[in-house]
Amino acid sequence: MKERILIIEDEENIARVLQLELEFEGYEIGIAHTGPDGLIQYREHKWDLILLDLMLPGLNGLDVLRRIRATENHTPVILLTAKNEVEDKVAGLDLGANDYVTKPFEIEELLARIRAALRFSNGGQAKKDEHLYEFCGLSLHEQTREVKREDRQIELTPREFDLLLHLLKHPNQVLSREQLLDAVWGFDYYGDTNVVDVYIRYVRKKIEKPGESTLIQTVRGVGYVLKENDEN
């Protein structure tokens, strides 16, 4: 299967050149020209690596990186910047970028950095189904959208599925309502945060039948956490 790279770059000529070079190297490519569009594509598809320009319209590259790292830290991000200031590079690395390349750059150097980042993220580990998430008898497959608890099939709406998926990606981690809103409803959602509580109830009702242990637990005043019931 081809490795997938998302290019978030507002200069269309640069983005097009990168696309052609990377496709020639065998990668599958997605392109976004603004910060908000980059976040939408990041959330709607699975990527093996992100090339992220710092100077973007709508939402700058550091803000995009901050939002990505608020939800996960395993997808490699390489910054593309025309700036030479040390502060920008340090800020990007502190926010979780894996590497940076200063424009203008040689394509051979960028390709080498991409290969290195992908090797590091793979970590030499044995291949497993990266789309399957399992926790205490609960399983969810991101591609087939199949959800089960033990042998019981569970039907979820698209929003319920996305909420449970995010919880499964962060087991034993307390997530605030704001974090869940940002990850599931999107950074530009301006509705009531109580929608999180409503959908948590919907998901609980479907995955926690009578006699089954509670998996989604409320942390009063903060949010929710996916963890084993301490009483079991």
**Residue spans per domain, the chain:** 4-122, 132-226
The packing angle between helices 61-71 and 86-94, to 10°, is: 20
Q: What is the second-level CATH architecture of the domain 4-122?
A: 3-Layer(aba) Sandwich (3.40)
User: Phi/psi of residue 135, each to 5°?
Assistant: -160, 115
pLDDT tier, 120 (very low <50, low <70, confident <90, very high otherwise):
confident
Q: What is the pTM of this model?
A: 0.56
Q: With left for phi above 0 and alpha for psi between -120 and 50, is residue 82 left, alpha or beta?
A: alpha
Helix (H, G, I), strand (E, B) or coil at 185: helix
pLDDT tier, 99 (very low <50, low <70, confident <90, very high otherwise):
very high
DSSP secondary-structure letter at 211? T
Q: Which of the residue ranges 120-124, 175-179, 220-224 would you say has the lowest mean pLDDT?
A: 120-124
State the average pLDDT for the chain.
Answer: 88
Round to whole Å and give the CA distance between 212 and 3. 39
Per-residue pLDDT of 42-72, as tens digits, reads: 988 889 999 999 999 999 999 999 999 887 8
The per-residue pLDDT for 125 is 44
132-226: what fold? Answer: Arc Repressor Mutant, subunit A (1.10.10)
